[in-house]
Amino acid sequence: MSSYSAVPGRVPASAPSTPPRLPRRAALGAVLRVTSGNFLEMFDFFLYGFYATYIAQTFFPSDSEYISLMLTFVTFGAGFLMRPLGAIILGAYIDRIGRRRGLVLTLAIMAAGTVLIAFTPSHAAIGVAAPVLVLIGRLLQGFSAGVELGGVSVYLSEMATPGRKGFYVSWQSASQQAAIMVAAALGYGIGQWFSAAQISDWAWRIPFFIGSLILPFVFHIRRSLAETEAFLARKHHPSLREIVSSMGRNWALVGAGMMLVIMTTVSFYLITVYTPTFGKSVLHLSATSALLVTFCVGLSNFIWLPVMGAVSDRIGRWPLLVTFSLLALFTAYPSLSWLVHAPTFERMLAVELWLSFLYASYNAATIVALTEIMPPEVRTTGFSLAYSLATALFGGFTPLVSTWLIETTGDKAAPGIWLSGAAACGLAATVLLYRGLVKAR
């Protein structure tokens, strides 16, 4: 089976469903405006992961470095638990009120969380209020992020020119890679300009301040978005009760969608957010080396995502999903074992670029496939709920699980087991969805 059209009741992967929504030049401009929020979201998420040790010292001080770091990652993961709630509430808002207005609202909530984390005083200054405020900031970010990715992906799928839906939707993930590269470059600059003591004391906050400063610009360009014609042409916009009812009827579809996304979320957070900590704390490489590897991973993802999105438009989603879930299943642990056996910058770069290729190729097909399998009237809610559940239960806790696995097993390559399990979930979901075993109702 080489095409999405082979599944009864599904939209073909490359067949045009409606006339072109926008002229190509206008469509590319819309891509930039709508993905700006994704850029900001991942910019903050990556910074939290990269500066986890400094955040731990500032907000979660402890006599044990392991406990302090674990508390930091627990707070990081707690934001993901808000995603399913955000997916239902904000997703229903977007499906009922409109794509444009919903994306502006999600950006406002995300901005509140970003500013809170950037400006919260240290534990030494205000005591237990410091970690509480950071936790609130992460919960606000998680609530917003529950629908941000889904809202952007659905918007891109609905305004894409015929036969290029996979290419256009892939830019949602590509914008996150641009954020990673910018954040990594900032981290490198700070490492060069400030001493270790200055970074630990206050300089780690600088990138968070920069994120706060670009918020007004992101608001401005997102407010200029036009509503999609697909949404405007819809005769009925469901109420929250109707949307919840549809999610109940389609629980199997949402569950299969969640399984499909698990590999995407686990692999993404493993090779981006967790990589700097893994390189510094586990492999004992320099912070500069870990940052350079992370920058290269972001660049690799940025290149491969639109390329493989376009490939999925040509050959269908099924071949990419099967091929790259299998490759991840059988190569994740061996490649990490090879790295930790003799950790060097060159080995880490080679392994991370391989995992980047697997992630980008699988993700390019996954995101657009998720927009196609959901019923149109609840597309944003269904997409966001499936994605947020995968992130909340699996992907978002990847740094925490990886840290725990290494500590418990004594095997520095143990995160590869976690990724292999995620790949097995993706493979099973692909079979369920593309063999017609789970369908929309």
Q: What is the predicted pLDDT for the residue at 10? A: 40
If one compares 218 and 354, the residue with the highest pLDDT of the two is 354
Q: pLDDT grade, residue 25 (50/70/90)?
A: low
Q: What is the 3-state secondary structure (H, E, C) of the chain?
A: CCCHHHCCCCCCCCCCCCCCCCCHHHHHHHHHHHHHHHHHHHHHHHHHHHCHHHHHHHHCCCCCHHHHHHHHHHHHHHHHHCHHHHHHHHHHHHHHHCHHHHHHHHHHHHHHHHHHHHHCCCHHHHCCHHHHHHHHHHHHHHHHHHHHHHHHHHHHHHHCCCCCHHHHHHHHHHHHHHHHHHHHHHHHHHHHHCCHHHHHHCHHHHHHHHHHHCHHHHHHHHHCCCCCHHHHCCCCCCCHHHHHHHHHHCHHHHHHHHHHHHHHHHHHHHHCCCHHHHHHHHCCCCHHHHHHHHHHHHHHHHHHHHHHHHHHHHHCHHHHHHHHHHHHHHHHHHHHHHHHHCCCHHHHHHHHHHHHHHHHHHHHHHHHHHHHHCCHHHHHHHHHHHHHHHHHHCHHHHHHHHHHHHHHHCCCCCHHHHHHHHHHHHHHHHHHHHCCCCCCC
pLDDT tens for each residue of 270-281: 998 788 788 888
If one compares 186 and 149, the residue with the highest pLDDT of the two is 186
Q: pLDDT grade, residue 23 (50/70/90)?
A: low
Task: Please give the average per-residue pLDDT across 10-38, as a whole number.
Answer: 58
pLDDT tens for each residue of 249-271: 888 999 999 999 999 999 998 99
Q: What is the predicted pLDDT for the residue at 357? A: 97
Lowest mean pLDDT across 23-32, 82-91, 156-165, 179-188: 23-32
pLDDT tens for each residue of 376-428: 878 888 888 999 899 888 988 898 899 899 999 999 999 999 999 999 999 99
Lowest mean pLDDT across 76-80, 136-140, 183-187: 76-80
- How confident is the prediction for the chain on average, in pLDDT? 84
Q: What is the predicted pLDDT for the residue at 415? A: 95
pTM here? 0.80
| Of 38-52, 271-285, 289-303, 323-337, highest mean pLDDT | 323-337
CA distances 438 to 67, 126, 243, 429, Å, are 42, 52, 19, 9
Domains of the chain (ranges; CATH) run 21-227+241-434 (1.20.1250.20)
Q: What is the predicted pLDDT for the residue at 16? A: 39
Query: Does the structure show a pLDDT above 50 at 7?
Result: no
Q: What is the predicted pLDDT for the residue at 133? A: 92
Query: Does the structure show a pLDDT above 90 at 246?
Result: no
Structure tokens at 375: 């019923």
Task: Please give the average per-residue pLDDT across 114-120, as a whole number.
Answer: 87
Query: Does the structure show a pLDDT above 70 at 1?
Result: no
Query: Does the structure show a pLDDT above 90 at 299?
Result: yes
pLDDT tens for each residue of 140-169: 988 888 888 788 888 888 878 788 889 989
| Of 113-127, 184-198, 314-328, highest mean pLDDT | 314-328
Query: Does the structure show a pLDDT above 80 at 110?
Result: yes
Q: What is the predicted pLDDT for the residue at 83? A: 85
| Of 107-111, 270-274, 331-335, 385-389, highest mean pLDDT | 331-335
Q: pLDDT grade, residue 247 (50/70/90)?
A: confident
If one compares 23 and 258, the residue with the highest pLDDT of the two is 258
Q: What is the predicted pLDDT for the residue at 129? A: 92
Q: pLDDT grade, residue 14 (50/70/90)?
A: very low
Query: Is residue 386 within 8 Å of residue 395, measured between CB atoms?
Result: no
